[in-house]
Amino acid sequence: MARESYQQQLQQLTESVRQMGAKVLEGLDLGLRTLREHDRVLAESLDAWDDQVDELNLSIEKECMDLLALQQPVAVDLRLITSVFKIITDLERAADLAVNVGQYGMDAGVFVLVSPDELTALGEFARAMLRDAIEVFIAKDVERAREIIRRDEQMDQRCWTLRRQVLARLLELAREAHSPQEAKEFVDDVIPVLWSIRDLERVGDHAVNISERTIYLVTGRKERKAEHHETGY
């Protein structure tokens, strides 16, 4: 094969994304554990972990820049590099969301409104989407990428259902509150819960972005999320 060194650099780029993806999944686990266990030490360890993800992001970005500047990639190679550029941004943002989720777990009132099992189950669903999206990118598997995009509809539905449960529970608790002050505390508790749900939903959205990029990488065609969703949104 001609341009062996170049081909090795392209393979290394995919390997770097795999490493960054593994690091982000590790942090997402940490964030979910922090949420579930309400563990301050774990929550504090998230910052150092996030710095490592940022460093990986910058390092892969430089790999992409070097390839663009020195190798003038075209066709599938160009699509790989532009896809990696976008995918590492999705991974870096997913990592930021994992940090957020851990920090929301420090709020004592979170589980007054939602059970730890329900919130962590949502987190596990989002994590599985992200894990699969990274695997699919490595394997360049278009059919599985489409399946992940379709799975996001379930994610959105789960988030919607959980939000309704949280708000129903809030109304119930507010009605039973013994004082306006107690009712206000329940309202304060709802904010980190809703943000947790929102951030986990966004982790799923980043998994969708990565899957869409994988389809583009393989086919050269950009498929919109709506093309895969029965409800068309």
By CB under 8 A, name the binding residues for other proteins: 1-3, 6-7, 72-79, 220-221
Would you say 220 or 232 has its CB closer to other proteins? 220
**Nearest Cα to Cα of residue 146 among 233, 25, 229:** 229
**Nearest Cα to Cα of residue 3 among 77, 81, 90:** 77
CB of 220 to other proteins, least distance (A): 3
CB of 136 to other proteins, least distance (A): 20
Would you say 12 or 59 has its CB closer to other proteins? 12
The Cα 80–Cα 85 span in angstroms is 9
Would you say 24 or 218 has its CB closer to other proteins? 218
Query: In 177-221, which residue ranges form alpha helices assigned H by DSSP?
Result: 180-219
Q: How far is CA 223 from CA 56, 102, 168, 214, in A?
A: 28, 33, 37, 10
Would you say 77 or 92 has its CB closer to other proteins? 77
CB of 107 to other proteins, least distance (A): 48
Cβ-proximal residues to 51 (8 Å cutoff; 6+ apart), any chain = none
CB of 94 to other proteins, least distance (A): 28
Mapping DSSP to helix (H, G, I), strand (E, B) and coil, where does residue 211 land? helix
